[in-house]
Amino acid sequence: MKKTITKSLQNSYTYQEYRALVENLLKLGKSTSKEDSEALVNYSKLNHSRMKRLDKTIQLPKEIIEKVESISTSTQWIVLAEGWCGDAAQNLPIINKIADLNKNINLRIVLRDEHPELMDKFLTNGGRAIPKLIHIENNYSKIESWGPRPSVATKMVADFKAKNGSVTDEFKKDLQLWYNKDKGISTIEDMMTFLGF
């Protein structure tokens, strides 16, 4: 596991580098995917706008800021993501905002499709769902993961799949509307639970 993580970190991005990568690819009419289909490029454009908005508007509650600032252990966070992923666009700005609160948290982004070995160690119900946050502490003695979406949204997806068999484009639109109404609250709450607060 340590070897796979170390290899992934060698080809990783800061949050700002990741945002610049997605933006620069969009200027070339491309996405982070090697497929570069028109649909993935369009999703990437939409997600780039979502992330810009969230970067400006996400507000963390004071009590959460204080808790995160109190973390004294050096911690590595790796997030598997892709520019075309709607869940990544909604959750990554919040993860970054939390990580920015404490210099003990080192946040790095890796592209899922460039790191299948790492992704396959953190599957969700057998699938390569993203974003996936990998939390590493105490020289790899503690490794945990969170994702790909807050628990409320995870239940929404599971309920829809149980009733309809698979997720539809219409449901994906409804999920993005839910994210907009939620304003990051569910992700923040899940992250606090994940961090043990």
Whole-angstrom distance, CA of residue 185 vs CA of residue 143:
25
What DSSP letter does each residue of 19-40 carry, written as one string? HHHHHHHHHTT--SSSS--HHH
Residue for token pair 């109190």 = 70
Whether the model clears a pTM of 0.75, i.e. scores above it, the answer is yes
Q: Which two tokens stand for residue 31?
A: 């996405």
Q: For residue 102, which amino acid is it?
A: N
Whole-angstrom distance, CA of residue 166 vs CA of residue 148:
17
Banded model confidence at residue 197, pLDDT cuts 50, 70, 90 = confident
pLDDT tens digits along 116-169: 999 999 999 899 999 999 999 878 888 999 999 999 999 999 999 999 999 998
Q: Is the CATH code 3.90.1200.10 the one for domain 2-148?
A: no
Domain boundaries, the chain: 2-148
Whole-angstrom distance, CA of residue 86 vs CA of residue 47:
6
Lowest mean per-residue pLDDT among 35-39, 49-53, 172-176: 35-39
pLDDT tens digits along 71-122: 999 999 999 999 999 999 999 999 999 999 999 999 999 999 999 999 999 9
